[in-house]
Structure 1
């Protein structure tokens, strides 16, 4: 397993507000995917996509990303075919808001991971919407864990024995939900710190999660995480 990190340089054609950044980046990635038949089918499928991405860098203090400026976006995946597709197509993609410029690729080194921490909000949805008030912290922990294991099983076509510790501690780092816009709906999520257990499979899943993201809607940019090595 290799986690690929692609750095896409983009030029903004219009201003983009902070709460809309993930939606606008999703649009340019989607425009790349639907440019070929194979990846159009991949894009339209309901299965896990096994990639995620962060928001624009550098940050803007007034939370408005400016037309006429260049920013970078990091995209991660474990899928080599997807990497090759992005290398061929993503730098040439464009939307009403964003034009691709260049794309670089590296492999994230695999070391013992002490903890994972959110860069973009992690989403766990319930039938009632945002999870607080509807799930206990124990249920939230279980949903995060089950989601990661399902993604791992799906990608590797396996079924893990789930009798192992994955995270021994979870911290919620925001005092109130973090809102983002997606298709005219305001999604609420959380910034997390996840302390990874020492066992071998927990470490494998933690490394995998750098590409898959944590929580739901990862191919829309949610649940993108960074890491601290031991």
Structure 2
């Protein structure tokens, strides 16, 4: 199984409605999941709620007024570490699946081979839950204010990637140190990803709380494998909602 490639689809979309920045991740996420679930094996996997070996970013270019306009073209980027999955997703996206918000009009395919990564930046908020819960027994997400423990965060981010690596490739990596040499928080206040959910015919908007990071990975082999993996599957949790999508600076 290929361990040194990421398969990227840059999807050019035509918008059928205005979409606010706040709603973009929900719109893209639902389009991706609906499209993927047209294939029975991916529907079965989706229903089991197991690791998704893909990630995606938001619409580009960014709009200053945070409204993506009806009738305009915008792109979003989809990445995966699974070559066969990438081919199937390409076909599913090209099938012009009916959607009230968007239509994909072109897809540019790209293979990214493994290379040395000097810096990673989170294009979308990185979300990581913490073990504590609030008085209403709701899950809390890591923030500097609620936790402040950077080492705990780094360990959780690494453990998450190690589990994803083992599940997909069927082998364990044995790190000698955390793959993160330096983690810099770039936001002054928590960042949010919103999605809509329906229960008992009542729709509500849910907020995932995350942070924007600059990360300098360590240079050893395992650290670089994890850094590269994070580009293909996202960093942290709630990736299927648009969290943890990274861009890279390399030498």
Partner of 2:228: 207
Pair 1:36-2:39 in alignment:
yes
Moved more, 207-216 or 154-163: 154-163
Pair 1:110-2:114 in alignment:
yes
How much does 1:196 deviate?
Answer: 0.7
How much does 1:203 deviate?
Answer: 0.9
Q: Which runs of 5+ in 2 are unaligned?
A: 135-139, 197-204
Partner of 2:21: 18
Q: 2 CA distance for matches of 1:7 and 1:44?
A: 26
1:144-171 alpha-carbon deviations (Å, 9 max, x no partner): 1111111111111112223334111100
1:46-75 alpha-carbon deviations (Å, 9 max, x no partner): 211110000001111100001111111100
Pair 1:131-2:142 in alignment:
yes
Is the 2:120–2:247 contact (alpha carbons within 8 Å) kept by the matching residues of 1?
A: yes
Moved more, 71-80 or 105-114: 105-114
How much does 1:135 deviate?
Answer: 5.4
Moved more, 97-106 or 205-214: 97-106
Q: 1 CA distance for matches of 2:165 and 2:114?
A: 17
1:79-128 alpha-carbon deviations (Å, 9 max, x no partner): 11211111211132232211121222111142211011110110012334
Partner of 1:223: 244
Partner of 2:187: 174
Q: 1 CA distance for matches of 2:240 and 2:194?
A: 15
Q: If the length of structure 1 is used for normalisation, what is the TM-score?
A: 0.95
Moved over 6 A (4+): none
Q: If the length of structure 2 is used for normalisation, what is the TM-score?
A: 0.87
Q: 1 CA distance for matches of 2:195 and 2:178?
A: 34
Pair 1:159-2:172 in alignment:
yes
How much does 1:76 deviate?
Answer: 0.5
How much does 1:204 deviate?
Answer: 1.2
Q: 1:198 aligns with which of 203, 219, 225?
A: 219
Pair 1:80-2:83 in alignment:
yes
How much does 1:178 deviate?
Answer: 0.9
Q: Which runs of 5+ in 1 are unaligned?
A: none
How much does 1:218 deviate?
Answer: 1.2
Q: What is the RMSD computed on CA atoms of the aligned residues?
A: 1.4
Q: 2 CA distance for matches of 1:157 and 1:138?
A: 27
Q: 1:96 aligns with which of 87, 93, 100?
A: 100
Q: 1 CA distance for matches of 2:112 and 2:249?
A: 12
Q: 2 CA distance for matches of 1:180 and 1:45?
A: 23
